[in-house]
Structure 1
Amino acid sequence: MNKIIFLDVDGVLNSKFWDNDHQREISEGKYVDLEAVKLLGSLVKRTEAKIILHSGWRFWFDESMNPLRLEAEFFANALAKEEISIYGVTPDLTIEEIRKTKKFSLVKADEILKWLDDNSSFTKWVVLDDLDLHNEEVARHQVKTDPEIGLTEKDVEKAIEILK
């Protein structure tokens, strides 16, 4: 199958609501909601899509997708438990000003489109992100999660529709 899920983490696999009740886990480097990861697992299984990480979390992995931080290790293990692996990452098109101001949403769409341009065999794609990515083409493929609650079953159904 030639389907891709461009995955952001914060606001998708965790949420402000989840953060409030999981301070102990967060202090231990467990930044993802395992229930949201299960929902992602269901999406991957139902669509046979591959995961491309387009989150700042991609910098927490080396080129072979080995975790470089405790948080990334917990995340990778949570994905593995659901039989999900990260297929790749989007390129980094940020400049110093964007990194300083943390306005990553200004380049995320360009990073996604560049990845697609470089990997033209993938024809069906969806973006899971809580941010406005400032691009009409990407917006047509985006399931914009609510950062207060993260990924939901309704979001998964919407993503499946986009990938059909």
Structure 2
Amino acid sequence: MKLIFLDIDGVMNNWIESQPSNKHESLEFASSCVENLKYILKETNARIVVSSTWRIGETEKTLKDKVFKHYDLEKYILDVTPVCWEEPRGVEIASYLASLHICNVEGIVILDDDSDMEDLKDYLVRTDPKYGLTKKDAELAIQILIK
């Protein structure tokens, strides 16, 4: 199984297309970012583990219903990473990977606009929050997942 660790703000929204959302204080997903994520999913058959702060206080089920269903992405959501207060996101992702009961992880990629990935930085596709997830980012993510 291939896993995408997905941040939301700065990855699934951007300064150009996104509008304020009633559901969150943040922004709705930008259509171009959704299409680029779907492209990665189609090309790699990966599943999504939500690593965004949007996961705090939510389960993967509530995130599926509240957020991802609107974009026809709910079927790709596998899980959420643990919250390790005051630790970098890379530590949270490493903790998740260490606790996996799924032994057949074939590849991972981290889609995030932050760089705090510690030992997992080689798996990071760092997005520019001005644009969110671009086609170029998607191509790089695919390359990381299939290598």
TM-score, L = length of structure 1: 0.76
* Number of residue pairs the alignment of both structures matches: 141
Residue 115 of structure 2 corresponds to residue 124 of structure 1? no
SS in 2 for 1:91: coil
| Structure 1: runs of 5+ lacking an equivalent | 99-105
Structure 2: segments with no counterpart, 5+ residues:
none
AA at the equivalent of 2:94: L
Structure 1 distance, partners of 2:8, 2:30, is 10
Helix, strand or coil for the counterpart of 1:18?
Answer: coil
- 2:78 matched residue in structure 1: 87
For residue 61 of structure 2, the aligned residue among 44, 54, 65 is: 65
1:13 Cα offset (Å): 0.3
Question: RMSD across aligned C-alpha pairs, in angstroms?
Answer: 2.2
Give the C-alpha shift of residue 118 in structure 1. Answer: 1.4
Query: 2:16 aligns to what SS in structure 1?
Result: helix
Distance 1:152 1:144 in 2: 11
d(CA) in 1 for partners of 2:9, 2:69: 17
Which structure shows the higher helix fraction? 1
Aligned to 1:32: 29
Change in 2 beyond 3 A, CA 1:32/1:109: same
Counterpart of 1:12? 11
**2-side partners of 1:67 and 1:113: how far apart?**
21
Q: Which has the larger radius of gyration?
A: 1
Q: What residue is the counterpart of 1:111 in the other structure? A: 92
- Distance in 1 (CA, whole Å) between partners of 2:96 and 2:74 is 24
Look up the equivalent residue of 1:40 and give its one-letter code. L
Q: 1:158 aligns with which of 124, 140, 146?
A: 140
Tell me the SS of whatever aligns to 2:10.
coil
TM-score by length of 2: 0.84
Distance 1:53 1:5, change over 3 A: same
